[in-house]
Amino acid sequence: MYNNKKMPKYPKPFPIVIKIFWAGIFQRKLSFHATAQYCIKRLYPPLKVLGQENIPKGGPLLLLTNHYTHPGFPSWWITLSSSSVVPAEIHWITAAAWTSPDPLYTRIITPITFWAFTRLAWIFGFTPMPPMPPRPSDITARTLAVRKVLAYVRNTKNPLVGLAPEGQDEFADGLIMPPNGVGRFIYHLANAGLDFLPIGVFEQDDRLCVHFGSPYHLDLPGKLSLDKKDIWISKKVMSSIAPLLPYELRGLFR
Give the 3-state secondary structure percentages of the chain, helix then strand then coil, rounded to 5: 45, 15, 40
Phi, psi for 203 (deg, rounded to 5): -115, 140
In this prediction, residue 7 carries a pLDDT of 57
Q: What average pLDDT is seen over the chain? A: 87
Strand order in the sheet with 48-50: 48-50, 207-212, 195-204, 61-65, 160-163, 91-95, 127-129
Helix 14-25 vs helix 103-124: crossing angle, to nearest 10: 80
Residue, of 91 and 109, whose pLDDT is higher: 91
Residue 234 clears pLDDT 90, i.e. is over it: yes
C-alpha angle 183-170-140 in degrees, rounded to nearest 5? 45
206 C-beta neighbours (distance < 10 Å), count: 14
Q: Is pLDDT above 60 for 6?
A: no
Global pTM reads 0.89
Confidence of residue 133 (pLDDT cuts 50, 70, 90): low
Q: Would you state the torsion angle of the CA atoms of residues 144, 230, 69, 141, taken in this order, to the nearest 10 degrees?
A: 10
- Domains of the chain (ranges; CATH) run 14-253 (3.40.1130)
pLDDT at 135: 65
What pLDDT, on a 0 to 100 scale, did the predictor assign at position 223? 84
Decide which of 225 and 212 is more confident: 212
Q: Coil, strand or helix: which one is 127?
A: strand
SS3 141: helix
- The alpha carbon dihedral of 218, 220, 221, 222 has a sign of negative
pLDDT at 103 over 80: no
pLDDT over 90 at 46, yes or no: yes
Distance CA 58, CA 249 (A): 28
152, 127 Cβ separation under 8 angstroms: yes
Alpha-carbon gap, residue 94 to 14, rounded angstroms: 22
Is the pLDDT reported for residue 169 higher than 90? no
Q: What's residue 222's pLDDT?
A: 79
- Cα angle 214, 198, 75 (rounded to 5 degrees) comes to 145
Q: How far is CA 161 from CA 33, 89, 115, 149, 189, in A?
A: 13, 9, 23, 8, 9
Give the single-character DSSP code of 98: -
Beta strand segments in the chain, E = 48-50, 61-65, 91-95, 127-129, 160-163, 195-204, 207-212
The CA-CA-CA angle for residues 100, 73, 123, to 5°, reads: 75
In this prediction, residues 45-49 reach a mean pLDDT of 94
218: closest CA among 246, 190, 240, 183?
190
